[in-house]
Amino acid sequence: MFGGEEFFADVLLPLAISKSYTFLLPEELRESALPGMRVEVQFGKKKIYAGIIKQIHRAAPKNVKIKPILSLLDEKPVVHNLQFKFWEWIADYYVCTEGEVMEAALPAALKLESETEVLLHPEFHHDYTDLSDKEYVIAEALALQPVLSIGEIKKVLHSNSVYPVIQSLLKKNVIILKEKLIERYKPKFETYLKLAVDYSSEEKLHSLMGQLEKRAPKQLALLLSYLHFTKTENHKGDWIVKNALLKKANASSPHAEGLVSKKIFETKTVQVGRFADDINFDPQNFELTAAQKIALDETKKNWEEKSVTLLFGVTGSGKTNIYIKLIEEKIAEGKQVLYLLPEIALTSQITVRLQKIFGNKLGIYHSKFNAQERTEIWNKVLQKEYSVILGTRSSLFLPYENLGLVIVDEEQDSSFKQQDPAPRYQARDAAIYLAHLTSAKVLLGSATPSAESYHHSITGKYGYAELNERFGGLQLPSIEIVDLKEQQKNLSMQSHFSEPLIENIREALNKKEQVILFQNRRGFAPFIECATCGEVPQCPHCDVNLTYHKFENELRCHYCGYKRSMDKVCKACGSTNLRIQGFGTEKIEDELSLIFPEVKIARMDVDSVRTKQGHNRLISEFEKQNIQILVGTQMVTKGLDFDNVSLVGILSADQLINHPDFRSAERAFQLMEQVSGRAGRKNKQGKVIIQSLSTKYLVLQFLQNHDVRGFLQAELQERERFFYPPFTRVIQITLKHKDKKTCADTAHWMAERLKKIEAKQILGPVEPIVGKIKNLYNQQVIVKGGTGTQMLQRIKQSILLLQNEMQEHAGFRQVHWVIDTDPN
């Protein structure tokens, strides 16, 4: 603390390393450097990164050589202290490093990493005699192109291991290396043109036109366009955006340059924002309905004691109106507001509506913006130019300082959870912590709340407000449950379609309305079976049946992706009598087209929409009504809102309800929402047809009565019965190993050991073995963690201890393991 003269800075690096590292703060930076600023540092042998200063102090680390900070990249901090606290919590709670959180938080343009450049040594005089073949290839390539990146060298050599060659070339003084930091944020500039003052009189203009007419007709056209533009468009001054003008005149840049060099046009370049500031600002005052007012008051009353309120509002009840009123209040208090939406929902009308109300106080942030645009939003939040941010889960990480309110709309939506790269976080839950850091309030809104949020509202952890009056007298869809057993008895089934379903489809099509059919299995048939010996082909890696995909004529494993061509004969007995059992979306699509040959039918599942674009295209085709019937898996239950859909069919409620995943039944309710009344579908009542082999399921009764709360209560009881946590978070440990049996055994062993430590918290190894990915078997052990972090800490500790022991016990050289959160 009272050490030497020198100053040091703890720097957080955007890497998966658990510590921050200490660098020497050079004297010339002492005055200007502050925590939260980015600095350029060398880390490791040569790599240069942009890290963030966490702390400045005078305590020299012991027993290490300390590298200096190379330069300061910012004049002002790019994050507040609040973000550091938030990052620490995320790293701890979701078991990852702070560097990984930082990596996820910062827009790409603020994250810098050096690239190695390879250049010829200035003393090298093209003496190739001593060089090996590979060395020669590189030296020759450098003679042609003076700077090569490591990537380019890999290409030249057709090999990924280039380091040995580079090392030997360095030794022989043939090449030198340079590390280059690439600044990725580029402010956007726009060039403006203006007619020079010399030509302000009509006279001069006319003689100029005469001159141009002969020699430069294109330039004349450009000039005329300019004159037309300045006369007709509503503009400020005579400066016109060059690109807009060129486009209008159908001219190219050289034509404009010509006019500039002849001093006919003046030019200027201005840094501009990437977002239009002429937003259609049109604040409309609206009154809340009596029911909405009650819900609003109830919410605020809850907030006096609790920081989170769950707003359960049926579709079409006007939850958004309540959000808007609350946002307005918080802005008036000078606070920032974060409004989180699930991924797909952002394309909807909500953005337009909020823009009208909040004008350029509103910032929108989601993955469709590029790195440059995101950086601009980041900076505007930092400078508090935005008071409201509407965005997806990643907008949680923007540099807020005085949040007053966080709204999480459609709080049950699974896209709030980041699955793949660390940090594996649940944005809804993390939002609650973020709000806690600034004593902000949280509003979770949903028409079909998640079981865990509902549980919290019952136990009193969250406040609860309700809105069950539909705005403008919109009607609930009618629900019809069709008994498939009876239909089969009466022989009124056409393949998998009951008579009422077909009739209703026909009726909807006649009225030019659209239909969504739901089947929670993809592929053609979930399995095939030998009629002679009863053999069912299974995945060689996973303990699951192979699904038959008719279009590709393949058998596929839906866990690991294994595929092989469809068997012609039974692998066990050689019989050719193979039976196709059950049905998936592909089969539904196939058979539907036989019943309705004239109708445009499309299928939406992972197989049919491999890319995000394909997904969007399908949605827009359905929206334009180029498709009449959409058959799909879970994918159709989320975030879609089609005005013209009047019928939803659930082909097999049995499969939905008996699915091992607890959330499947919840999907039925979300599907129902698809045909519930919304603003665009006034006075039209949708219909839901549910086919089921048994009409006795409790869920069906809840669905028929539109009783979401009753269903959630039953669901919570059911989960309790299965000892499945309704509200706690879950750690998912995945063991990966080359050998299937070792992997399964170790998982069992680990579960047993963990049970001894935290008996009630271990759900044991999950069956089946999930699959073989990258040659490693995959087995999960699920651990419930308490909501408090103490339990979590104990389990984390135990896992760390067990990890070493496990390697000895299992006798294999490496155990890969991943902690995931909340596998639901």
Binding site for DNA (CB under 7 A): 15-17, 21-24, 42-47, 61, 64-67, 113, 116, 150, 159-161, 163-164, 167, 813-814
Strands 308-313 and 463-467: parallel
DSSP state of 414: G
Least Å distance, CB 59 to DNA, is: 11
Compute the least distance from the CB of residue 158 to DNA, in Å.
10
User: Which runs of E-coded beta strand occur in 352-497?
Assistant: 362-365, 388-391, 403-409, 441-446, 463-467, 478-483
Contact 691, 501 (CB under 8 A): yes
CB of 371 to DNA, least distance (A): 17
Q: To the nearest whole angstrom, how small is the minimum distance from the Cβ of residue 770 to DNA?
A: 20
Cα 408 to chain center, whole Å? 15
- Which residue's CB is nearer to DNA, number 128 or number 163? 163
HSE-CB of 336 using CA atoms within 13 angstroms: 22
List, in sequence order, every beta strand (DSSP E) within 366-417. Answer: 388-391, 403-409
Least Å distance, CB 118 to DNA, is: 12
Cβ neighbors of 792 (< 8 A, separation 6 or more) are 93, 729, 731, 785, 786
Q: Which is nearer to DNA, 252 or 803 (CB)?
A: 803
Task: Please name the residue ranges forming H helices in 706-811.
Answer: 708-721, 740-757, 789-810
Instruction: In angstroms, give the least distance from the CB of 630 to DNA.
Output: 39
Q: Residue 253, CB half-sphere, CA atoms under 13 Å: how many? A: 2
Considering the complex, state which of residue 24 and residue 288 has its C-beta at the smaller distance from DNA: 24
**CB closer to DNA, 167 vs 577:** 167
* Backbone dihedral angles phi then psi of residue 733, each to the nearest 5 degrees: -100, 130
**Listed residue (570, 581, 571) closest to 548, CA to CA:** 581
CB of 579 to DNA, least distance (A): 42
**Which CB sits closer to DNA, 39 or 406?**
39
Beta carbon of residue 34, minimum distance to DNA (angstroms, whole number): 19
**Cβ 805 to DNA, closest distance in Å?**
15
Nearest CB to DNA, comparing residues 106 and 528: 106
Angle between helices 217-232 and 202-215 (to 10 degrees): 140
Q: Specify the residue, 21 or 454, whose C-beta has the smaller distance to DNA.
A: 21
Nearest to 676, CA basis, from 637, 628, 623, 627: 637
302: tokens are: 């809850």
CB 566 within 8 A of CB 553: yes
Burial of 290 (0-12, 13-18, 19+ CB in 10 A): exposed
Give the shortest CB-813-to-DNA separation in angstroms: 5
Give me the torsion for CA of 363, 364, 365, 367, rounded to 10°. Answer: -160
> Token digits for 814?
């490496």
CA angle at residue 755 from 750 to 756, to 5 degrees?
Answer: 105
Shortest CB 167 distance to DNA, Å: 7
538 DSSP assignment: B
Contact status, residue 815 vs residue 735, Cβ threshold 8 Å: yes
Of 160 and 284, CB closest to DNA: 160
